[in-house]
Chains A and B, each alone.
Chain A
Amino acid sequence: MAPTDEQLVEAFQAGDVSAFDLLVSRWDRKIQGAVYRVVGQTEDVRDIAQEAFLKAYRALPLFKREAKFSSWLYQIALNLCRDRLRRRRRSLAEVSLDLLSESGELPLATSGPSAVELAEASELARTVGSAVWALPEEQREVIVLKEYQGLTFQEIAEVLGLPVSTVKTRLYRGLGVLRECLEQKGIRNPAPVPAPAP
């Protein structure tokens, strides 16, 4: 039977450094997936995932096993994503000022795929991806963790350091915004389920 994350963390803390290799191979793809869906550009994904694991490696000897390892790792990765998005927004704001003087319009998107990525995706995937990237960051994070990473509400609350009720509110709002956005783009939801016969 494969060792659990907690057993691997324990082994690492007891001096078995190779336990970290297993943790990386177990979580790398998932972390890259989450990072991609939050920051939206593949060239940043490997950097951020790698940095997250480097940070985890450094901090793992002091990791208190009160939280789940995966929640802690997601927390590190999301913090790095936020930093990256903040930097991108800042540089975009600087560019925007230049552009504003020329065209009078501000570019709005701070995250999103490159043209090549858009061309590769299917029509529906493109529409959905763009809709998710257009969400406010806090709603996008919750939707990514719930929908694509399959975390429970409790786990998301741990990762984001929020009460479960706030997590649900953000998710509910995010799904609502997505629903409107997708409907506007012609993606219709199925007709309401009829009430069961009495």
Chain B
Amino acid sequence: MESKKDCDPGAMLDVLYGEADALTERNLRSHQEGCASCRAEFAALRGVRRSLGAWTLPARLQPRLERRPAWRPLLAAAAGLLLALGASLGLSGSELGFRNGTLAFRLGRGQDLERLLAAQEDRHRREMEELRAALLHPAAQPVGSDREEVLRAVRRLVDDSQRRQSRVLETRLADFQQQAEAQRRYDLAQVGASLSYLEGKTGLEMAKTTELMGHVIQASQKR
């Protein structure tokens, strides 16, 4: 009679799932010869595994192709339009929300963008102050060059701002493109799976039809 302390659930699982080496399997078998509770346990676990095998996936998880209703392309176009709108709002860092019972729309989202805009605002304010000071004290500026100086400063500001905006836009566009590419590839693979399922199904139906035709021909020849 084997003692209960020799029972090894780990070895039992290894044998149950076919992962045990020959020695472990031999040891377990020889232990089970003298250990009724281990034998019962092993048989019960095997029974549970058999029951688990009955649980199959639902049909709706199988790949399938559905008939497309006529409004589907329109819906797809509308969804595309909304996606594009959403993407452009997202790219511009905008935010749409419901606050205090009203719909609120705010340009600028995310700490990075806010920090960037705050820094830009500071810089503009500083430059405006400098310009204002220069206008208030014209003596400090070389005569005749005021207007050009201001124009140059404004042009510089505009250029800087454009450069910053396009940098932010490029980064966001790159993210968006990567996500869209991944989505496209996943969708393509899904369509591929559905097509091969359909091909398989059509092949099966063809075979059935051919078989049926064979029977009909044979029957008519017998007559």
Contacts and interface: CB of A to CB of B under 8 A. Distances in A.
B43 A191 contact: yes
A36 B61 contact: yes
Contact of B52 (A172, A178, A195, A196): A178
Interface in B104-130: none
A45 interface: yes
Interface residues of B, number: 44
B71 interface: no
A175 B54 contact: no
A21 B182 CA distance: 10
Interface string A170-189: 01100100110010000111
A168 B43 contact: no
A54 B176 CA distance: 12
A146 B189 contact: no
B115 to A, nearest CB: 25
A32 B61 contact: yes
Given A36-B61, A42-B58, A125-B56, A190 B47 contact: yes
B36 interface: yes
Interface string B162-205: 00000000000000001101110110111011000000000000
A189 B190 contact: no
A62 to B, nearest CB: 13
Given A54-B179, A57-B185, A193 B39 contact: yes
Contact of B59 (A58, A120, A165): A120
A50 B183 CA distance: 8
Nearest to A191: B43
B43 A33 contact: no
Given A120-B58, A120-B59, A178-B52, A25 B189 contact: yes
Given A152-B19, A165-B10, A50 B186 contact: yes
Contacts of B186: 24, 50, 53-54, 57
A143 B18 CA distance: 15
B161 to A, nearest CB: 31
B39 A58 contact: no
Given A17-B181, A42-B61, A182 B55 contact: no
A53 B54 contact: no
A161 interface: no
A189 B56 CA distance: 20
Given A189-B43, A191-B43, A193-B42, A128 B36 contact: no
Please name the 4 residue pairs, one residue from A and one from B, whose CB atoms are nearest each other, closest first: A189-B47, A24-B189, A57-B182, A192-B40
Interface of B: 9-10, 12-14, 17, 19, 32-34, 36, 39-40, 42-49, 51-52, 54-61, 63, 178-179, 181-183, 185-186, 188-190, 192-193
